[in-house]
Amino acid sequence: MLAAVTSDRLASLAQAIHAGALSPVDLVEGCLERIRQKDRVLRAFIRVDERTALAEAAAREREARQGAVRGPLHGIPVAVKDLFDQAGLPTTAGAAIRREHMAEETATAVRRLQDAGAIVIGKTNLHEFAFGVTSVNPHYGAVANPWDPECIAGGSSGGSAAAVAAGFCAAAMGTDTGGSIRIPAALCGIVGLKPTFGRVSRHGVVPLAWSFDTIGPMTRTVADAALMLSVLAGPDSRDPTTGRYGPFTDTAIDVPPAFRVGRLAGAFFDEALDGEVGAAVDRACDLLSRAGARVIPVHVDAIDAGQVAQTTILFAEAAAYHQRAYPGRLAEYGVDVRELLAAGATIPATAYVEAQQVQAAVIGQVRRLLDDVDVLLCPTVPIPAPRIAEVDPTRSEGWRRVRAPLSRFTRLFNLTGLPAVSIPVGRTRAGLPIGAQLAAAPGQEGRLLGISAALEAAVGWELAPLGAA
């Protein structure tokens, strides 16, 4: 096994804090200063807790001086999508109707970050109720892409992606039901990991669709994602979907000396693919070949039916949750989410059950593919980030045109529950990031991240250092 050469930023930061070479107060101050300077444009945060963050940073600094390090994220500033509860703070879910909501408990995932020493500096903006892929939010503003503020950051975890890419925090938390971690990660040029369904507790997180909702990290590097997952993963008695997988310990990021990559192919993956995105992913495959991979084309026969099935289950579950949680209040939602929730309520029960049969058929097909390859690969998003003005539901109908393409390649891995990661593999001529998506068998995040690290190293993608102005 070869150790991948990756920039292990979170671990380096934590090590420097532990050694007394880096002050958590300085680190948090730097993040807050960047937020003050740039977040008026990016709108990545719904809430920033300067005073609490600085007080916690001072406490972590004192603890580090005394050698009382809480865990691998001691003193590290992180941001959390405003879908996660933090006791004593509102969880808006990006919705106007939850402005006054107050959380009584802290979500398990956030508590695990805090127990590991992380400092939560604020709650990030998102697509309303996480039901969308643009993060153009009618109540809290459209999250802008740090690479071009005229363009979307993607969604629904757009604020978390923009915050990491802009250096507002060292890492962030997202949720993913149809691509909501991976899509914004790809459009903002960062790493976004959707772990295996059931690997990370969802307790204390506002649901979108129970069958697919997954919690995961959004980071600057693959190694950072592995470190975050090691803190987050593991059973939680308050989320019955956890328990199948134990803690994640593969933070060493070992790249297998030889591995097989199944490049997802066929009309579904080739049609409507932007030329620059396709070329960047072709190049990524070449780089993987040079790094020891055997790349072979693979097909999922039932992919089209799988897409409809994923829509059916997601929309029906979202409609069911919202009907019970906020009855009679659809008029208070943004135009797009209002429409999608009403649409979900028209899905027949028979279609929901048939969709679950299709889900089983697709899972069977994909598992057979994974008997022959270590990972599956495709672009994360088939198009570069669209412009905000073109997809703002209050200004145009464009959101309807981009909704399906933006999540076209990500939803397969929610339907199948496989761990999937988006990593940056290039930029368009206009300078917008392009992501490649890799997925592995259930519970195989170690293998997935090892191969992703090989690709990351080969591509040589680097965000500006966190300390840079």
Q: How near is the Cβ of 355 to other proteins at its closest, in Å?
A: 7
* Closer CB to other proteins, 233 or 340, in the complex: 340
Task: Provide the residue count of the chain.
Answer: 469
Bridge partners of residue 175, in order along the sequence: 215
Look up 237 and say whether it is catalytic: no
For 302, the 3-state DSSP assignment is: coil
Look up 7 and say whether it is catalytic: no
Give the span between the Cα atoms of 380 and 434, in whole angstroms. Answer: 8
* Closer CB to other proteins, 43 or 447, in the complex: 447
What DSSP string runs through 163-213? HHHTTSSSEEEEEESSSTTHHHHHHHTSEEEE--TTSB--TTB--S-TTT-
Q: How near is the Cβ of 325 to other proteins at its closest, in Å?
A: 13
Cα 228 to chain center, whole Å? 12
Give the chain's end-to-end CA distance (angstroms, integer). 37
DSSP assignment letter at 234: S
319's enclosing H/E stretch is: helix 303-325
Which residues are within 8 A (CB) of 145 and not within 5 positions of it... i.e. 6 or more apart?
151, 152, 153, 154, 162, 187, 188, 385, 432
Backbone torsions φ then ψ of 58, nearest 5 degrees: -65, -40
Q: Is the dihedral of CA 72, 419, 388, 145 positive or negative?
A: positive
* Closer CB to other proteins, 208 or 287, in the complex: 208
CA distances in angstroms from 123 to 222, 388, 390, listed in the order given: 23, 22, 26
| CB 137, CB 154: distance < 8 Å | no
Bridge partners of residue 145, in order along the sequence: 148
| CB 169, CB 45: distance < 8 Å | no
- Token pair listed for 48: 């920033």
Look up 81 and say whether it is catalytic: yes
Catalytic residue among 7, 23, 135, 180: 180
Q: How near is the Cβ of 278 to other proteins at its closest, in Å?
A: 24
* Closer CB to other proteins, 26 or 339, in the complex: 339
| CB 214, CB 177: distance < 8 Å | yes
Q: How near is the Cβ of 246 to other proteins at its closest, in Å?
A: 15
For 439, the 3-state DSSP assignment is: strand
255's enclosing H/E stretch is: strand 254-255
Q: How near is the Cβ of 92 to other proteins at its closest, in Å?
A: 23
What does the CA dihedral 236, 100, 31, 40 come to, rounded to 10 degrees? 140
Q: How near is the Cβ of 323 to other proteins at its closest, in Å?
A: 6
Q: How near is the Cβ of 315 to other proteins at its closest, in Å?
A: 9
Cα 281 to chain center, whole Å? 20
* Closer CB to other proteins, 30 or 334, in the complex: 334
**Residues binding other proteins (CB under 8 A):** 196-198, 211, 241, 244, 302, 304-305, 307-309, 311, 323, 327-328, 330-331, 335, 338-340, 342-343, 345-347, 351, 353-361, 363-364, 416-418, 442
Q: How near is the Cβ of 8 to other proteins at its closest, in Å?
A: 29
Catalytic residue among 81, 194, 201, 407: 81
* Closer CB to other proteins, 117 or 344, in the complex: 344
CA distances in angstroms from 85 to 80, 202, 207, listed in the order given: 9, 10, 12
Give the span between the Cα atoms of 163 and 469, in whole angstroms. Answer: 14
* Closer CB to other proteins, 218 or 309, in the complex: 309
* Closer CB to other proteins, 313 or 423, in the complex: 313
Q: How near is the Cβ of 44 to other proteins at its closest, in Å?
A: 30
How many other CB atoms sit within 10 Å of the CB of residue 110?
25
Give the span between the Cα atoms of 439 and 261, in whole angstroms. Answer: 10
* Closer CB to other proteins, 296 or 353, in the complex: 353
Residue numbers annotated as active site: 81, 156, 180
